[in-house]
Amino acid sequence: MQALRPWTAEGPAERAAAHGILPRQAIARLARDGAIAADDGIADDQLQPASLDLRLGPRAHRIRASFLPAAGEAMADKVARVRLHTIDLSEGAVLETGCVYLVPLMERLALPAHLSASTNPKSSTGRLDVFTRVIADGSGGFDFAPPGYRGPLAVEISPRTFPVLVRAGSRLSQVRFRTGHAVIDDAALAELHRASPLAVPDAVIKDGMNLSIDLKPEAGPVGYRAKRHTGVIDVDRRDALATADFWDPIEASDGRLILDPDEFYILMSREAVSIPPAFAAEMVPFDPLVGEFRVHYAGFFDPGFGHGPGQAARAVLEVRSREVPFILEHGQVVARLAYERMAQVPDIVYGASLTSHYQGQALKLSKHFRS
């Protein structure tokens, strides 16, 4: 495989950085050079502004419980000890709630020594309350492949609320590639906000940009609560389902909402956020000591998200309470955005030349539901 050179500027508009997340055109080059491969090749529509969609392979293993291979331990050896049975995905199969599945992915990696990879669920996956995390063979951790990693990838899938229909080629997760340290500190983030506002009506910057909950919207419900005992959701079908069959709208006229244990909610941030094209962002817990609820499953924001006139977009929050009921109040800080530099501005940014279901969004369900 040809060694990859760190990105360098090719023109004044491209604002290259020594460290950062690789853009779409760099990911395409990785595929051409064999650092990303699949038996049937990498499709153009897998390429996103700062990530690559990962595809399910033709088999799913129903396993007894989640597991993490120890560092240096082969995934296949662990699967052989915990597998209950294997499911053929070539014609599609239903993954049931409360079960854990491990699916080898079509893509495999042969990364150069300076490049690492990290993964997360796609936005639509998180909004369906489908818990996923990717395992790299022998890496000793979830959702991460170390620099120079060579080997297969598999995804652990556990539907929490809705049974889902998947098939070989379905895309539930995405991978991004990083060289060096990409996260910017608060001083750089404040400077970026002064040059290009990152949040409306305001931006509170403390260990990243804080996000608070909106429980007093100007119109419509404050969120949705998932119904139980619903029909199956086909993850590959857009605009196919009636919202009322799967969700109950929530009203909270007093600006308060009690989260019930083990219920799943779709809520939104009070702030409309903007991600400039030379940056990406990831949603992270604002305080790991607050353990009463989980705020996000899929928290990666592409370059260009919410950026541009009339495009500012709320962050949609996937919320699940834990063991006890918990009160959320309007304006309460629930998460924060960590901004990261791109190694180069993507040749296509989110929402500009790339059609997206979520650009300019307010409170919005996944793409599977009719507007």
Sign of torsion over alpha carbons 199, 205, 210, 212: negative
Please give the chain's pLDDT, 371 residues, in tens: 333 333 333 333 333 446 899 999 999 999 999 999 999 999 999 999 999 999 999 999 999 998 877 777 788 888 888 999 999 999 999 999 999 999 999 999 999 999 999 999 999 999 999 999 999 998 888 999 999 999 999 999 999 999 999 999 999 999 999 999 999 999 999 999 999 899 988 899 999 999 999 999 988 899 999 999 999 999 999 999 999 999 999 997 799 999 999 899 999 999 999 999 999 999 887 665 565 677 766 679 999 998 877 777 899 999 988 888 999 999 999 989 999 999 999 999 987 555 566 665 789 999 999 97
The residue ranges of every structural domain in the chain are 20-179, 186-341
Q: Are 359 and 350 in contact (CB under 8 A)?
A: yes
Q: Residue 10's pLDDT is what?
A: 38
Alpha carbon distance, N-terminus to C-terminus of the chain: 46
Q: Residue 1's pLDDT is what?
A: 32
Contacts of 328 (CB under 8 A, 6+ apart): 213, 215, 256, 257, 258, 259, 267, 293, 334
**CATH of span 186-341:** 2.70.40.10
What is the fold of 20-179? Deoxyuridine 5'-Triphosphate Nucleotidohydrolase; Chain A (2.70.40)
pLDDT in tens, 107-134: 999 999 999 999 999 999 999 999 999 9
Q: Residue 269's pLDDT is what?
A: 93
Give me the phi and psi of 190, to 5 degrees please: -65, -40
Please state, in angstroms and as integers, the Cα–Cα distance from residue 141 to each residue in 101, 156, 230, 282, 296, following that order. 17, 12, 33, 19, 19
Confirm whether 20-179 and 186-341 share one CATH topology.
yes
